[in-house]
Amino acid sequence: MDQILFLAHTQENGLLPASALEALTAALALKSASGASELVVGLVGASVQAAADQVAGCGAARFLGVAGAEFSVARYATDAMAAEAICKASAASIVVAPGSSRWHRVLPGVAQRLGGVADTHLTGLNPSGAGGALTVARWYYRQRMEAVIQRQRRPWFLLIDPGSQLAYVGAVGTATVELLPVQPGAAQLRTAFKGYRELSSGVQTIRPEAKLLFVAGAGWTKKQADGQPHVKEAETLILSFLQTSRASLGSSKSLVDLGGEGQAVLSFLTHLNQIGQTGSTPRHPKGLSTCCHGEEPHAVGWRFINERRAINLDANCGWARGKADVLYVADAFAVMNRVNELLAAK
Ligand SMILES: Cc1cc2nc3c(=O)[nH]c(=O)nc-3n(C[C@H](O)[C@H](O)[C@H](O)COP(=O)(O)OP(=O)(O)OC[C@H]3O[C@@H](n4cnc5c(N)ncnc54)[C@H](O)[C@@H]3O)c2cc1C
């Protein structure tokens, strides 16, 4: 029988991010469905007590931790040491972890050190898949094909894609953490963490945990009814909406490409905002598309957006053809202006 370890790192405030709580849901479901006798929680960070207390009620048999200033930031050598020590101490055969950028860089290497194997971007775990054994699922080819994977090798590291599970909710308590003595040497510390660099646009607009994805299309920069483009007004409307709604900003390819063509563009957009076949496929409960035509290479990136609405002047745009739940045939400038007024009045 597999021994399950839930392995997470803390965020700056010492707590677990939503992606870790989602991975914990997956680990707990796996434990109860597979009949594993116990779940071990492993935590890495500057201090791990607050994070352990946050999930104290999850029913874990043990809480293992590696803590200290050296483990407060992402660094391959120290993170790998910490993860390796926790995996060994827990004797885990299955390691469930959030698919954070920090773990993505490190855990496949830890799997290699331990003679195991890692799978990333997982969206589902099935404890009784083919032949009654554990299978895991992930998407390939821009979310068009789903693969179901089974492996004999252990330890098996499973990195869960953020947004694919419900976050664990449980009472805060007081956990007893067994701190492991992990001492990085000069060789592990030679890489120094200097700080975070902001996106070149200077505005943080991508918010993976937002309830709403707001997509801006090229229409925002096109000539409007008066024969003129209104790019500055578009910027103000969009930024004001993002500030009050805390939505995440997506874009069509046409709009982000305009920058490279020397045209007037929304200054805070980069290619990282692009949604679609050659962009990203984010996960949000709701999406609102504005001034975007809804063509297939764009709409394919909406695969995991549950409730979809669009605003377009064209009643025959792509959204009208089964790609949105609701299409407002209207001027997005007028609609967003009114929406911002209503939000400001709240
Ligand atoms: C191989 C390949 C890969 C691609 N990958 C991607 C991808 O990853 N992502 C992506 O987005 N595209 C991708 N594309 C391009 C895609 O096919 C479209 O060209 C692109 O999405 C169009 O962007 P758009 O809808 O913003 O612009 P447009 O097609 O120019 O549409 C602008 C829309 O704005 C509307 N509009 C204008 N003014 C207003 C107003 N005031 N109020 C309301 N509506 C208004 C217009 O009616 C129009 O529908 C790809 C294409 C190919 C061939």
- Label residue 188 exposed, middle or buried (CB < 10 Å: 0-12, 13-18, 19+): middle
pLDDT tens-digit map of 65-109? 999 999 999 999 999 999 999 999 999 999 999 999 999 999 999
C-alpha of residue 208 to centroid of ligand 1, in Å: 22
Round to whole Å and give the CA distance between 139 and 280.
13
CB of 93 within 8 A of CB of 34?
Answer: no
pLDDT band at 1 (very low <50, low <70, confident <90, very high): confident
Best substitution site from 228, 255, 295 to test ligand 1's pocket, by max atoms within 8 Å of Cβ?
295
Best substitution site from 230, 293, 333 to test ligand 1's pocket, by max atoms within 8 Å of Cβ?
293
Tell me what pLDDT residue 57 has: 97
CB of 271 within 8 A of CB of 253?
Answer: no
Residues 6+ away with beta carbon under 8 Å from 194: none
Lowest mean pLDDT among 110-124, 203-217, 303-317: 203-217
Return mean pLDDT, the chain.
94
Give the count of alpha carbons within 13 A of 132, CB side only: 2
Give buried/exposed letters for 19-45 (b at 16+ CB in 10 A, else e): bbbbbbbbbbbbbeebebeebbbbbbb
- Two structure tokens written together for 49: 């007590």
Protein residue with least CA distance to atom 29, ligand 1: 293
Output the CA–CA distances (angstroms, integers) from residue 226 to 222, 229, 265, 290, in the order listed: 11, 8, 19, 19
- Two structure tokens written together for 270: 């980069």
The mean pLDDT value for 195-210 works out to: 75
Output the CA–CA distances (angstroms, integers) from residue 260 to 157, 204, 224, 236, in the order listed: 40, 21, 22, 22
Tell me what pLDDT residue 199 has: 59
Best substitution site from 278, 302, 331 to test ligand 1's pocket, by max atoms within 8 Å of Cβ?
278
Round to whole Å and give the CA distance between 331 and 346.
23
Tell me what pLDDT residue 179 has: 98
Round to whole Å and give the CA distance between 244 and 118.
40
Output the CA–CA distances (angstroms, integers) from residue 64 to 94, 171, 265, in the order listed: 15, 19, 50
pLDDT tens-digit map of 141-155? 877 789 999 999 999
Query: Is residue 265 lining ligand 1, measured as CB closer than 6 Å?
Result: no
Query: Is residue 252 lining ligand 1, measured as CB closer than 6 Å?
Result: yes
Query: Is residue 233 lining ligand 1, measured as CB closer than 6 Å?
Result: no
Best substitution site from 223, 291, 321 to test ligand 1's pocket, by max atoms within 8 Å of Cβ?
291
Query: Is residue 297 lining ligand 1, measured as CB closer than 6 Å?
Result: yes
Tell me what pLDDT residue 116 has: 98
Strands (E), the chain: 4-9, 39-45, 62-67, 94-98, 117-126, 135-140, 145-149, 156-160, 177-179, 212-216, 248-251, 284-290, 305-312, 326-329
Three-state secondary structure call for residue 69: helix
Count of beta carbons in the 10 Å neighbourhood of residue 179: 15
C-alpha of residue 297 to centroid of ligand 1, in Å: 9
C-alpha of residue 257 to centroid of ligand 1, in Å: 11
Statement: residue 201 has pLDDT above 70: no
Q: Looking at residue 65, what DSSP letter applies?
A: E
Count of beta carbons in the 10 Å neighbourhood of residue 317: 22
Query: Is residue 316 lining ligand 1, measured as CB closer than 6 Å?
Result: no
pLDDT tens-digit map of 50-65? 999 999 999 999 999 9
pLDDT band at 37 (very low <50, low <70, confident <90, very high): confident
Report the atom number in ligand 1 closest to the C-alpha of 332: 42
Structural domains in the chain, CATH included, are 4-189 (3.40.50.620), 212-345 (3.40.50.1220)
Residues 6+ away with beta carbon under 8 Å from 142: 277, 281, 300, 301
pLDDT band at 200 (very low <50, low <70, confident <90, very high): low
Interior angle at CA 103, CA 102 and CA 107, nearest 5: 140
Round to whole Å and give the CA distance between 219 and 317.
12
Q: What is the pTM of this model?
A: 0.79
Backbone Cα Rg of the chain? 23
Tell me what pLDDT residue 131 has: 85
Residues 6+ away with beta carbon under 8 Å from 115: 153
- Two structure tokens written together for 233: 């007004």
Query: Is residue 243 lining ligand 1, measured as CB closer than 6 Å?
Result: no
Tell me what pLDDT residue 203 has: 67
Protein residue with least CA distance to atom 31, ligand 1: 293
Round to whole Å and give the CA distance between 95 and 35.
16
Total residues belonging to the chain:
346
Tell me what pLDDT residue 187 has: 96
